[in-house]
Chain A
């Protein structure tokens, strides 16, 4: 028994040695697998289904043109979290994130791509756009029609935490923009609101509206998918502020009869950008492949897949076809209303900025 046992303890040691050997080969595998080349696309939450299909289409396209087999690996998560991972060394060839601010951060903090990244591809490097819509329960029991209805007594709104979720930042800014337009009288004023008379007062009102809106939010999930799960799976809340593509996907995947989409009168033009991470592709020798991967997104086939997964395609030809699926909506841009992402981030989402103040004051006032 005794000698037996001592012999037994040797087994884990051998096992560990074998594993150590097996493992040391692992890192190389990522770039040069035996069958061909591999790409890593680091993306945000709601693009899972799109890229799953797109990757297959692209692999077929690449094999046809070059005869080379390509494997595209995916990593999904909250946009900010994903950008941070790339900054900390996640070897992404491509990033496809929720907002330009996060890719700017990759340039600013780690200098892995040039500042001019957004000019390298058409349409501000955004192969698709989307907007923020309301997802309500079947029959729209609370009669929610527009942003203003969200702060009626008793309504619970589900949206993720803008500090961690890209989608939530778009929602927050959409609400702000709507309130601004209401105060300024017309949606046209959003083309250049700071020039409009009464702008300062309107900003105050917008802030009041957004504060009231977050007073109706019972839970702040960290990502868009978490919020959707809270709304759909756990049955919390009356309205979900969602990406349009996410809302359409929920209806497709989780039953048409259970939810409805409400399109607000004004929403934001959400532009999720894509970029090649120069530093990583040059190191791995995958630049050509990575650039083609993004270019193909803008091709007819790519745009078709984009539309099929409920993103609004950039392509003009497809726009008319897509119009049936995507009802027209008055949108405004972050650049026009907030002066771009850097300013919007500093004014609204940084530590101690407006979003934090909203919660600080709601606490001081003995909030609900």
Chain B
């Protein structure tokens, strides 16, 4: 299946012997125009708004905004939460993908759905459940307070919310790749006497490494951009529990529109870097897939 995509990927539509294999010229132009117009309005225009807003007060104001201590603190927190999310999601993702991709067992479809759940759960609900669990009025809250441990309205809460939101990405991506590759190579290695870890490091991981990286990139993008869930558990303490997306909102609410858009553009740039990485990856593997 994978190989088929690869060969198709750069296939030029062959010069047509049969009219029925190709749309008339006007139809092609119309379709391209529709696609370009639609994406232009829906995606490119908002992107342009962000950068126009960011530079509306000149480059110096832009640089001042993104080098402000509060912005830097927010950037640090965002990167920290993303690092946690990526690391833990990767470990979990590899384990889950191995179980889901290489074995058949009862309840697999339910488990798959549960793993996907955070993707569809409203971020607000994701934040709410952590407040219910760890808030002072929640179940674990009084115990945590008695032991002077802070979870929500502190860094651990933000990390937790980010973990929840990014939960499915690596697992889902990897499980698909592992499933597609089947178990043939691993079984062969097993018969040749390789141990479980040897099989994993020498056979499976090299086969799925691009899938893993792809999942990590998606996970990272989602982690850095999360707003709703983090907003509920953050407490919005300036310079302490503000992530970059929250900082954008704060600046916007302080009538510092140019600064808000400047920080937003910083996030957008991070997003664009992610997209470029992803495009490079796709070119390398000839793979087009997923979310």
A–B contact at 8 Å CB threshold (below): yes
List chain B residues, Cβ under 8 A from A13.
Answer: 87, 91
B155 touches A23 (CB 8 A): yes
Is B86 close to A, CB under 8 A?
Answer: yes
Partner of B137, one of A15, A30, A109, A254: A109
Tell me how many residue pairs across A and B have CB atoms closer than 8 Å: 106
Give Cα A13–Cα B80 distance, bound, in whole angstroms: 13
In-complex Cβ contact of A77 among B141, B236, B252 (8 A): B236
Flag if B83 contacts A89 (CB, 8 Å): no
Q: From residue B12, how far is it (CB to closest CB) to chain A in Å?
A: 31
Proximity bits, B140-169, A CB within 8 Å = 1, else 0: 010011001110111110010000000000
**Contact B136 A74, beta carbon cutoff 8 Å:** no
0 or 1 for each of A3-14: is its CB under 8 Å from B? (1 = yes): 001100100110
Alpha-carbon gap, A6 to B209, bound state (A): 9
Which of A2, A42, A85, A226: most chain B Cβ within 10 A?
Answer: A85
- Which parts of A40-92 form the interface with B (CB within 8 Å)? 40, 42, 45, 48, 73-77, 85, 87-91
A:328-353 near B, CB below 8 Å: none
- Of the residues A20, A26, A229, contact of B154 by C-beta under 8 Å: A26
Main secondary structure of the interface of A (DSSP, over half): helix
Cβ-neighbour of B88 out of A16, A73, A87, A250 (below 8 A): A16
Which residues from chain B contact A288 at a C-beta distance below 8 Å? none
Q: Of the candidates A2, A5, A91, A225, which one forms a contact with B153 in the assembled complex, judged by CB atoms under 8 Å apart? A: A91
Residues from chain A with a CB closer than 8 A to the CB of B202 are: 2
Given A15-B87, A74-B237: A89 in contact with B206 (beta carbons within 8 A) = no
A364 within 8 A of B: no
**How distant is the Cα of A91 from the Cα of B150 in the complex, in angstroms?**
9
B69 to chain A, nearest CB (A): 12
Q: Does A253 contact B (CB under 8 A)?
A: yes
The size class of the interface chain B forms with chain A is 35 or more
Known pairs A73-B238, A74-B238, A233-B257; A90 contacts B153 (CB<8 A): yes
* Chain B minimum-CB-distance residue to A71: B239
Whether A196 is near chain B, meaning CB under 8 Å from some CB there, is: no
Tally of A interface residues using CB under 8 Å? 43
Which residue in B152, B156, B238, B253 is a CB contact (below 8 Å) of A89? B152
Closest chain A residue to B205 by CB distance? A6
* CB atoms of A16 and B83 under 8 A apart: yes
The verdict on B84 contacting chain A, using a C-beta distance below 8 Å, is yes
Q: Are A16 and B238 in contact (CB under 8 A)?
A: no
Measured between beta carbons, the chain A residues less than 8 angstroms from B235 are 42, 75, 85, 90
Cα distance A12–B148 in the bound complex, in angstroms: 30
**In the A-B complex, the 10 residue pairs with the closest CB atoms:** A89-B136, A88-B135, A16-B87, A225-B253, A90-B153, A27-B150, A90-B235, A75-B236, A75-B237, A12-B87
Interface residues of A (CB under 8 A from B): 1-2, 5-6, 9, 12-13, 15-16, 19-20, 23, 26-27, 30, 40, 42, 45, 48, 73-77, 85, 87-91, 109-110, 223, 225-226, 228-229, 232-233, 250, 253-254, 283
Question: Can you name 16 A-B residue pairings with CB atoms under 8 Å?
Answer: A2-B206, A9-B90, A19-B84, A30-B150, A40-B237, A48-B254, A73-B238, A74-B237, A85-B236, A89-B144, A110-B137, A229-B253, A233-B257, A250-B255, A253-B255, A283-B148
